[in-house]
A and B are shown apart, each in its own frame.
Chain A
Amino acid sequence: MSNATAATEPLHTPLAWQAVELVEKLPATARAATLVLRAPAWPGHRAGQHVDIRLTAEDGYQAERSYSIASTPEDAALSLTVERLPDGEVSPYLVDELRPGDLIELRGPIGGWFTWSSEEGGPLLLVAGGSGLVPLMAMLRHRAATDSRAPARVLVSASAIDDVLYREELDALAAADDAVEAHIALTRRQPPGWTGFARRVDAPMLAEVGFAPDARPRVFVCGPTGFVESASSALVGLGHDPSLIKTERFGPTGA
């Protein structure tokens, strides 16, 4: 049976909507913002989990979306990083309109599969397509917050350098911790003097930046469906054990 991990507690806590307040909105990239939220009844979470956000218009119309939690279990405040999608219904509201003091409805944490906690150990190979980096960043931040020595390598794919979330933080983390490496693949445009990857993620790239399969890294791949399927088949093709690869796919134009 593939990847059936032991159930993590708590399995049976109720999942109710709660009102949370936007404390602060921090620009992340030109298209994305990090929302720092005050959730009074927050039960705690594991890195990799997500929340559901529900918005209700005055006439009762509702829309719901899921967003990965960017903050670690150790952080005092809950934060999400949301990317504005061009045809989006909820993301433009969250990124552009929502103001500190505003309340939105949230339920969570949700998801017991795509999670990592430092007692599980490493090495850790994190492969992200676009905003798929959010839950993986929560894992990296949790690793740092718990002083884990598990070797960690992250590969992020984005169209252009300005679209890479947490760029400075990734650089700083890699510079400060010799057990951490961060690699970026820019698929459409590269800045002058770029020395990183300039193509889509493929098997040779994963072989170059990833751990050898016999190191048995725990692998997490997150991004649009096409990206995840291509990267995870490449990893299996390189010899990584499928039972150590966990994936999370989201729609190409989630909205």
Chain B
Amino acid sequence: MGVDNRPCRDCTARDNARMALISRGFTGRRRPPEERDRLPPGQYLVDGFPVLSAGPTPHTPLERWTFQVRGAVQPTPTWTWEEFRELPSERITRDIHCVTKWSKFDTTWEGVPVDRLLDGLALDGRFVLAFCDGGYTTNLSLDDVTGGKAWIALAYGDAALEPEHGGPARLLVPHLYFWKSAKWVRGLEIRREDRPGFWEELGYHNRGDPWREQRYSGD
């Protein structure tokens, strides 16, 4: 049996090197980046695009898929898949950083800006809870998903977003750790009070800024 357990994250890398046995010649799958300044603290650049998931990959048929903005907002629009595809989208290239320490530079996406989805709505809350097929949730401030910082991504690279990477649509918030870029997103709930999402309620940081290494609450 060869099964993936997660690497030791309760220590900083230096603590690990001090306390654990160094394995001669082991480097893992990482490669040194040409631009070290581009990597947030504690991150490693990887090849490939690791797939992490807390549950089975949902497969909602597109004819039943909808995206909703609901909660402390007027009105509460809903789009079908056809309607959503008609919204103007844009291509963006960003670095992404996972809390499990891998980073990828220059990932290319196509998506609908969240600003566009909230345009014209009367918002009565400063907090957002993204909700998804399969039950995953993540919470963000309104500020972190507006002002050109967030998209509902429909394509990665040149292809439609694959199910294992969150297709048909995922939230994309590249300036925060990637657990906030919720896969299989079905809507945003505007809230007057913050409510921790799936991992935040277990102890991940409420905001998750990789440049301040906000992995866990209290960081």
Contacts and interface: CB of A to CB of B under 8 A. Distances in A.
The answer to whether A and B assemble together is: yes
A1 to B, nearest CB: 25
Nearest to B26: A55
A36 B47 CA distance: 32
- Classify chain A: how many residues form its interface, as a range: 35 or more
A131 B21 contact: no
B16 A250 contact: no
Interface in B1-59: 1-8, 11-18, 20-30, 44, 48
Contacts of A59: 13, 17
A105 interface: yes
Contact of B28 (A61, A85, A248): A61
Given A60-B15, A61-B28, A64-B8, A248 B22 contact: no
Given A54-B8, A93-B26, A68 B21 contact: no
A67 B2 contact: yes
B22 A57 contact: yes
Interface residues of B, number: 30
Nearest to A255: B4
A66 B3 contact: yes
Contacts of A254: 1-4
Interface stretch (A96-104, A116-124, A153-161, A204-212): A96-104
A222 interface: yes
A87 B16 contact: no
Contacts of B17: 56-60
B33 to A, nearest CB: 13
B23 A102 contact: yes
B26 A60 contact: no
Contacts of A255: 2, 4
A68 B1 CA distance: 5
Contacts, number: 108
Given A61-B7, A62-B8, A89-B29, A55 B23 contact: yes
Contacts of A244: none
Contacts of A55: 23, 26, 28
A93 B1 contact: no
A108 interface: no
Contacts of B15: 60
B2 A250 contact: yes
Contact of A63 (B1, B3, B25, B28): B28
A189 interface: no
A132 B1 contact: yes
A255 B23 CA distance: 18
A164 interface: no
A80 B113 CA distance: 51
A66 B2 CA distance: 6
A91 B2 contact: yes
B171 to A, nearest CB: 26
B7 A63 contact: yes
A102 B17 CA distance: 17
28 contacts: A54-B20, A56-B16, A56-B20, A56-B22, A57-B22, A57-B27, A59-B13, A61-B7, A61-B13, A61-B16, A61-B101, A64-B6, A64-B7, A64-B8, A65-B4, A67-B1, A67-B2, A87-B48, A90-B2, A93-B25, A97-B25, A97-B26, A99-B24, A103-B23, A105-B21, A131-B1, A254-B1, A254-B4
5 closest Cβ pairs, A-B complex:
A60-B13, A254-B2, A60-B17, A60-B16, A64-B5
Given A55-B28, A56-B22, A60-B11, 14 more contacts: A19-B21, A55-B23, A55-B26, A56-B16, A57-B26, A57-B28, A61-B27, A64-B8, A65-B3, A67-B2, A85-B2, A104-B21, A104-B23, A254-B2
